[in-house]
Structure 1
Amino acid sequence: MNLDDAGRAAADVLPQDVWDFLSGGSGAEMTVAANRVAFDDVFIVPRVLTDVSSCGTSATLLGSRVTMPVGVAPMAYQQLFHPDGELATARAAEVAGVPYEASILSSYSLEEITAVCTQTWFQVYWLRDRILMGDLIDRAENLGCKALALTVDAPRMGRRLRDIRNGFALPSHVAAGNFPRPWTDTARRGTAGSSSSMMHTGEAFDPALTWKDVAWLRGQTHLPIVLKGVLHPDDAVQAIEIGVDAITVSNHGGRQLDGAIGSLTALPAVAAAVEGRAQVLMDSGIRSGADVLKALALGASGVFIGRPVLWGLAADGQRGVDRVLQVMQTELEDALALSGCVDVRRARHLDVLPRSSSAPVSPVQRGSR
């Protein structure tokens, strides 16, 4: 009936170490909690006496029309959760008519994923191997990907204590489908008291990523570029000046800096700084259609959901993901109607009331969108 139901179903079928890999964050998981607190502390001020006999959820993200302003966030190694992995989630996104953001660390290749989803975006981390980076960009373009998303909040992986305590390693049947199988050998070598996936990404990812590299990337591709992992307004402005097409306000689901600001908390200031010059997206902590409405009201053009998709995948493969996305659309339509919005465009003009405030925050105060 809601996304939490999918979470309970997933917890019943997944091994404990895989559940921890999915659910956990870095450090004491303060930021994981902060993401939900941020949504719970925001209240919508509904409008009334509007004809909401028909409410439209469709939107435009990076020039493509989608059935709702919701996409599937990039998540690695989905064969951990179901044998069909990314193919199931990508097919579900295609059926739902929403973007699917394929991770560079997908357990199926980009060729296989784009064959089943026409609205594929490709997410990359910055690799130490610049030639390999160029090859991946070329593949994304040639396969018809709609956007290239560069994750910039992971110069190194956060210390995910659940994985370290579990000695988490990829099982033998899971590998990174976009690379030759030996590329992920380190991630499959389990060691007590350490995370093999953390060791592998330390070898593969380049912590020297700077704005110069983002400018280089802009010159290498005609695809729209999304900068994922931005929380500070000044970083968003600098990205736009380089030519980035969209910003994803994200703290990596609480899996990087523990104690980082909640994504929804950071969203209004970033949206105000961007001033409509690029689309502002967000992820981290979204669990309902009402959460989507809150993000739209605070300045987002769209949101990407992560863990709930994997809950559905673990519970019932593509049918589970289908159901998660169906519930999300039903809840969003319901939230629009009950707040007096005939479409998602109107939602961006709703007033919101922080729990600790006695006065609504108006669209003017949040900045023009």
Structure 2
Amino acid sequence: MTAQPTAASTGPARGVGRARQDAVYRAGVLGRRPTVPTDFAELERRARRASSPTAWAYVAGGAGEGRTMRNNRAAFDRWAIVPRMAHGHATRDLAVELLGRRYDSPVLLAPVGAGALMGRDSDVQIARAAAATGTPYVFSNQGCNPLEQTAAAMGSTPWWFQLYWSTDEALVDSLIGRAEDAGASALVVTLDTTTLGWRPQDLNLGSLPFAQGLGIAQYTSDPRFLGLVRERVAAVASGAAARPDVQVTLGAVRSLLSITREFPGRFLDNLRSPEPRAAVETFLDIYSNPGLSWEHLETLRSRTRLPVVLKGVLHPDDARRAYDVGADAIVVSNHGGRQVDGAIASLDALVAVREELGPDPTVLLDSGIRTGADVFTALALGADAVLLGRPHMYGLALAGQRGVEEVVANVLAELDLTMALSGAPDLGAVDRGSLVPNPSASL
């Protein structure tokens, strides 16, 4: 006897994909087109036109000749999705459990430093967009708004905090404590930026946003850091430390104005104070620890009550070691191709890491994610969730908070539709069987 379709399989269903399509097409009837392009290539083109040369170099640029960025995209091209027919699933569930908490989708917004290059109050605008779309946001340690201000904009939507391990251990503890007090759901320690990689786009412009006072708001709002700044100022005033040698040029004046504007407090008061310039100098001295070791990371379990996520893992042995020292999750990432030129693609590393760890440990993927189909591929290859980086920054450049919201909506819509057309009712059904090696991919 032939089984009859159930009411659930024949009734109307409007997942996030169809809802997004309907919104765009209904607006089209009125002659309105999306503010943010729905394809990544056009999104990138328009964002570049909307950005200054220094902003574009920092956000879109990569290490060296850009080979790692190209590797990230080529890795996705090596896999092909296999759609399945007549599966009978009318709806999809995009929810995922991470670190003991349920999230509405497997997409988080990645931390991107110095976001104000792409739009003022960048962290707050992104946070409002994250809250509006129910998307978790990983606050950048190199943010342009203090984490407490950004947390207030998140409402009840969960957020994680990224930590760069400073050479000052008391500052490390202070930042962790502030994240806990402000309500972070996890601590994400970035491992792959103990020193800046070779970034020709920035170097050719002589442009480092931190030296202009951008991207150091977590520091200039921190009591431990401000104490270090005042110690530096006092040492210079007493003659115990040499005064910095400053050449008066038009560029130096512009830098001073930027540093003064970004420092907390009134502009005119800051202009007369040595603290803003001392803050930049102090930051450049201590912001990251080149000697970061597994021994440092082992101390985290006694320093925080938050789940610990280690970001920047690419080698299977490092993945295993991360869990050995107490990590609750890892992010397989090559920092968006910004640290080592010619590095392994994050997606390729994900395959090897998942094979080493087995199915149970929580593994996220960062670097190279551009579309909902990319998210599907990453999940099929073993990621529990992904971090979305440059695309949401491009949305910010084009339309602020609304631009970020539209980028998130587009990515989730395409993920939902890809699942619908591939026969996956939930994320558990998105597995290696959903893919085959792409015979059309160039070698």
Asked if these proteins are the same fold (TM beyond 0.5), I'd say yes
The counterpart of 1:109, out of the listed 146, 150, 154, is: 146
Deviation at 1:200, TM superposition (A): 6.0
Deviation at 1:348, TM superposition (A): 2.5
Structure 1 residues 173 and 319, CA gap change in structure 2 (3 angstroms) = farther
* Contact 1:42-1:355 within 8 A present in 2 as well: yes
Segments of 5+ residues of structure 2 without an aligned counterpart are: 1-37, 230-243, 253-279
TM-score normalized by structure 2? 0.75
* Contact 2:422-2:434 within 8 A present in 1 as well: no
Partner Cα separation in structure 1 for residue 164 and residue 431 of structure 2: 31
Q: Which residue pairs with 1:54 in the alignment?
A: 91
Bigger CA drift: 252-261 or 62-71?
62-71
Q: Which residue pairs with 1:179 in the alignment?
A: 219
Q: Which residue pairs with 1:362 in the alignment?
A: none
The answer to whether residue 238 in structure 2 is matched with residue 155 in structure 1 is: no
* Contact 1:3-1:327 within 8 A present in 2 as well: no
Secondary structure at the aligned position of 2:344 is classed as coil
- Whose Rg is larger? 2
Q: Percent identity at matched positions?
A: 41
Structure 1 residues 231 and 112, CA gap change in structure 2 (3 angstroms) = same
Partner Cα separation in structure 2 for residue 38 and residue 3 of structure 1: 17
Partner Cα separation in structure 2 for residue 120 and residue 68 of structure 1: 14
Structure 1, residues 163-187: CA drift from partner, whole Å, max 9, x if none?
A: 000111338573411112887xx9x
Structure 1 residues 64 and 352, CA gap change in structure 2 (3 angstroms) = same
Partner Cα separation in structure 1 for residue 297 and residue 108 of structure 2: 23
Partner Cα separation in structure 2 for residue 230 and residue 70 of structure 1: 19
The answer to whether residue 339 in structure 2 is matched with residue 256 in structure 1 is: yes
Amino acid across the alignment from 2:147: L
Amino acid across the alignment from 1:140: A
The counterpart of 1:270, out of the listed 353, 357, 376, is: 353
Amino acid across the alignment from 2:335: H
Q: Which residue pairs with 1:364 in the alignment?
A: none
Deviation at 1:51, TM superposition (A): 1.5
Bigger CA drift: 349-358 or 276-285?
349-358
Structure 1, residues 195-243: CA drift from partner, whole Å, max 9, x if none?
A: xx99965652111111111111122111011000000111111111121
Structure 1 residues 357 and 316, CA gap change in structure 2 (3 angstroms) = closer
The number of residue pairs the alignment matches comes to: 350
Partner Cα separation in structure 2 for residue 271 and residue 201 of structure 1: 36
Amino acid across the alignment from 1:179: Y
Amino acid across the alignment from 1:142: D
Secondary structure at the aligned position of 1:153 is classed as coil
CA RMSD of aligned residues (A): 2.4
* Contact 2:121-2:144 within 8 A present in 1 as well: no
Amino acid across the alignment from 2:160: W
Structure 1 residues 46 and 162, CA gap change in structure 2 (3 angstroms) = same
Q: Which residue pairs with 1:246 in the alignment?
A: 329
Q: Which residue pairs with 2:316 in the alignment?
A: 233
Partner Cα separation in structure 1 for residue 322 and residue 330 of structure 2: 8
Structure 1 residues 287 and 219, CA gap change in structure 2 (3 angstroms) = same
Segments of 5+ residues of structure 1 without an aligned counterpart are: 192-196, 359-369
Q: Which residue pairs with 1:37 in the alignment?
A: 74
Deviation at 1:63, TM superposition (A): 2.2
The counterpart of 1:70, out of the listed 70, 85, 107, is: 107
Q: Which residue pairs with 2:54 in the alignment?
A: 17
* Contact 2:115-2:215 within 8 A present in 1 as well: no
Structure 1, residues 87-142: CA drift from partner, whole Å, max 9, x if none?
A: 11111111111210001110001101111113110001110000000011111111
Q: Which residue pairs with 2:21 in the alignment?
A: none
Deviation at 1:8, TM superposition (A): 2.1
Partner Cα separation in structure 1 for residue 98 and residue 386 of structure 2: 10
Structure 1, residues 269-303: CA drift from partner, whole Å, max 9, x if none?
A: 11122223421000101111000000000000000
Partner Cα separation in structure 1 for residue 287 and residue 57 of structure 2: 23
Partner Cα separation in structure 2 for residue 175 and residue 287 of structure 1: 24
